[in-house]
A and B are shown apart, each in its own frame.
Chain A
Amino acid sequence: MSNPILKVENLNAHYGKSHILHGVSFNVARGEVVSLLGRNGSGRSTTLKSIMGLVPPSAGRVQLDGAEIAGERSFHICRRGLSYVPEEREIFLNLSVDENLEMGRQAGPAGATKWAVDQMFTYFPRLKERRNTRAGSLSGGEQQMLTMCRSLLGNPLVMLIDEPTEGLAPKIVAVVGEVIRDINEKGVSVVLVEQKLTIAMTVSHRICVMGHGQVVFAGTPQALNERPDVTEEWLAV
């Protein structure tokens, strides 16, 4: 792979004294969707947080579009073109939908796909109806839509999306999957942490399986399908 948009090398991270990531390495090519799969506690979410600068890496390198970003503050990382959709959604419940979207708006780096609020409402018309409502009164599905739109308005090169379909009704899960595919087609690379194997297998170009804070398998969804041993050892519950 030449010139990956995101390059993670030997990433280590700690929560206090607990060593969570033991040298995570993977690359994301331009225009790729890469999913991180694994059981709970395998380090997928911490990997995203560590790349984003929310859990400072204790060792290792992260390069975004050729520039070293490991150890930078998260607002710098965001302005350089990484955006993060947290599993907990973390929308601002005391602000309106419009104000939440405004919070996400950033110029973004040169060369990134530019997004407008109207496009967000095309993806999720429900948000347009509720644009003046306090975000605290939105349903779980609407909150998920809002948090994705908010991050997208930062005009990122790469989006880190953590468990976007958790706790959502099947109909909304399908919509979220569609949106991920569409933003990717429009030029945004994606690192996806996803529990639902079916979604991950259909939207991803490549899969990284994680276990014990490391990447234990990397390959295409087809390659993973041909390795029942990997599925059995690292993914089956």
Chain B
Amino acid sequence: MGGAQAPAMSPPAIKKGMGLVLDQIIFALLNGTIYGLLLFMVSAGLTLIFGMMGVLNFAHASFYMLGAYFAYTLEPLTGFWIAIILSPLLVAGIGILVERYILRHVHAHGHAHELLVTFGLSVVIAEIIKMAYGKFAIDYRVPVELNFAAFSLSGIDYPFYRLFMGGIALAMFIAIYLLLTRTRVGIVVRSAIYRPQMVEALGHNVPLVFMGVFGFGAALAGLAGAVAGAFYTTNPNMALELGVMVFVVVVVGGLGSMGGAMAASLLIGITNSLAVGSNFMLADALALVGLGAWAQDIGGLLTTRLSSLAATIPFFIMLLVLVVRPSGLMGEKE
């Protein structure tokens, strides 16, 4: 194929085309980062609960859903800002009750019991939500005062609310980090992961600490739901949709590691977002070594577009991490 036969593009047009692609990549990266930060908001609580207390809480994402529904319910009464403060507190209260009256009794019997109980709990919560609000998505929206474009690239507006969600997640990360490393409560939590009996013998009320951590973890998920529910859809399936991904984040990041949860959330958010927007297929790579036509003939996986595999990528990452580094990216080993 001679260069002369190819349709010629003027240099400004090429520049413009490249600019557009670059803008799309920037959008994809930003969206991925924000989605990753949302994953972090929910997985932060699960990391605390699962990684630090060893409690398998399948219902964690249900706390996220409850946060969204509570905020939706409160918003007309209190306004958006008070609603996103009150709803995590309500979720924390529910979390504390769940820990105190359900999980504490089940914990001694092992993970299988915890999984069954919390799975049952997640079903109960979802059904109650359906009874109270119906089976379909509710009209929980970004408040008008926050619904504007932060900037625009190539004529496409980027919503400020996405940045707002990202900002809350970052603030949450910094707050948890400082809480865990700079306060006495944080030190007690970190040591109670490994040697709860010794911590108790040193005069710390470990069951109370665990109850507090559970409530705090639930509140984080509730805050994420209250904030993100307004942007994404709030429906009775939102717990299920996010729940699995959150477990993937905790495993990939490493049990008990906040930094790991953040890294894994961003990794999964960004790869997911880039993959969704990509038309790449293996045949394209093979074409570079002259096997393009052969690959097109074979078809199947070779001609499957990356975008249609996007949903499987987090699980592929989890598989890879579990094989190469079973303790997770930054799993704290004693």
Contact = CB atoms under 8 A, between A and B. Distances in A.
Interface string A103-115: 1101000000000
Contacts of B193: 94
B144 interface: no
Given A92-B194, A94-B334, A136-B334, A78 B187 contact: no
Contacts of A148: none
Q: Which of A53, A75, A93, A104 has most B Cβ within 10 Å?
A: A75
Contacts of A90: 195, 198
A106 B201 contact: no
Nearest to A80: B203
B199 interface: yes
Contacts of A52: 201
Q: Which of A53, A99, A103, A150 has most B Cβ within 10 Å?
A: A103
Interface residues of A, number: 27
A148 B197 CA distance: 17
A161 B334 CA distance: 24
A79 B334 contact: no
B184 interface: yes
A92 B195 contact: yes
A219 B189 CA distance: 43
B158 to A, nearest CB: 41
Given A75-B204, A75-B205, A94 B188 contact: no
Interface string A95-131: 1000110111010000000000000000000000000
Given A94-B334, A99-B187, A102-B187, A75 B194 contact: no
B190 interface: yes
A199 B203 CA distance: 29
Contacts of A92: 190-191, 194-195, 198
Contact of B200 (A73, A106, A150): A73
A104 B193 CA distance: 16
Given A75-B206, A92-B191, A103 B199 contact: yes
A21 B205 CA distance: 27
B284 interface: no
Q: Which of B184, B188, B194, B200 has most A Cβ within 10 Å?
A: B200
Contacts of B198: 86, 90, 92
B203 A75 contact: yes
Contacts of B203: 75, 78-79, 106, 154
A154 B202 contact: yes
B332 interface: yes
Contacts of A103: 187-188, 191, 199, 202, 204
Given A54-B201, A106-B203, A150-B202, A94 B187 contact: no
B120 to A, nearest CB: 30
A27 interface: no
A94 to B, nearest CB: 6
A95 B187 contact: yes
A75 B209 CA distance: 12
B207 to A, nearest CB: 9
B334 to A, nearest CB: 5
Nearest to A78: B203
Contacts of A86: 198, 201
B191 A95 contact: yes
A100 B184 CA distance: 11
B202 A78 contact: yes
A136 B191 CA distance: 13
A96 to B, nearest CB: 9
Contact of A75 (B184, B191, B200, B332): B200
Nearest to A151: B202
Contacts of A84: 201
12 contacts: A52-B201, A74-B197, A74-B201, A75-B201, A78-B203, A90-B195, A92-B191, A93-B334, A94-B334, A95-B191, A99-B187, A102-B187
Question: Which 9 A-B pairs give the minimum distances between C-beta atoms?
Answer: A78-B203, A92-B191, A90-B198, A106-B203, A74-B201, A75-B200, A74-B200, A79-B203, A99-B187
